[in-house]
A and B are shown apart, each in its own frame.
Chain A
Amino acid sequence: MADAEVAERLVAPPAAPVAAAGRAGTLAGELQAEATHALAQAGLQPAVTRPRRKINWLIVTGGVILALVLGLTLAAPMLAPYHPAEQRARERLQGPSRAHPMGTDRLGRDIYSRVLYGGQTSLSASSIALGVTLTIGVALGLLAGYAGGWVDGAIMRLVDVLLAFPSFILALIVAGLYGPGLLKVVLAATAVWWVSYARVTRSLVLQAKQEGYVQAARAAGARPLSIAVREVLPQILGPIVVLATLNLGRLILTLSGLSFLGMGAQPPTAEWGLMLSEGKAYFMEFQHMMVFPGLMIFVTVLGLTLLGEGLRDVLDPNGAAGRA
């Protein structure tokens, strides 16, 4: 599949790094140089080398979309005309109007306000899930890759077992048995999702171990932990950042899906998946209840996907993140 990734890049050559300043810039440069080298070794022509740095439109578009979503969400207290839980019995089930730009729901709550506040719930839950999975996955991947031996074996067997588990089913069952709730769903998701980071990190560490700088550090007498964290980790961050960005989108889809099933966020919380499920009962007559929350999920995940793929061109030209 590495060949395939490379090929895709050959056809649509990646734009050169744009906003990557400082350390990230040099890292990206190095990785790109490595990719070119690898391509040459594989007997392929390197991707079109561009004399001038070109704007990566994937990053720009994705970044702008995300900034908009994030801005709307964070500024919810200022932008929202109503409190997200405020019920106005007389204004129930209204279509979009001047007073209620996105209409109202069955309890007379303003959907526009709830969509804004709902972003806070959806985004923070997904971010927490991402943070925890990232930490566990990268730590275990580093450990497995660097320690090797039985430690590696044990961790990778655990990964094999978890991969055989249908992850969505697991989250569903945990949420169902331990009681619904956003936090529980997040925990259940993290129990499975770290696997992809562990695999990517491990394979990158195994590669890095062969590199001169690691051997130099070892010869200089640095301790294994220090080598793993201070030498190897910064070198392999690029693909992990890419994977994390793309995974955040998938996490948002998963968590809002669980909320849609009634297993995640509970009423009266404003959360996009939950709002959609509330709108489901009325979608025959009042489509506005399900259109807007769904649109927000879609736009957010779209932004993250664009950003992630743009970053991949810059930070992960070998497509390591895609081999998760």
Chain B
Amino acid sequence: MSLYEVWQAAASSPFQPAVGKDSQLTVGLSLLLVGLILTGLFGLNRSPVSIPLFGIPASLAFAIGAVYAICGFGVYV
């Protein structure tokens, strides 16, 4: 089976990104803001509980937010 036939057969499943190009910057910056707020909350109360409560969610928000923000600014990683 040639790759052209494979390409034709997959016509019904074009790639769709999880977040569209138009909303990447909004999503990215919002997540970075969430990360910043959670970091602030972590800073107010540095206890062993605040790591899973604020630190881990903040890290996740920073991670995903950074990827979408850089895409939103036009550097498609």
Co-assembled chains A and B: no
Residues on B lying within 8 angstroms of A by beta carbon are none
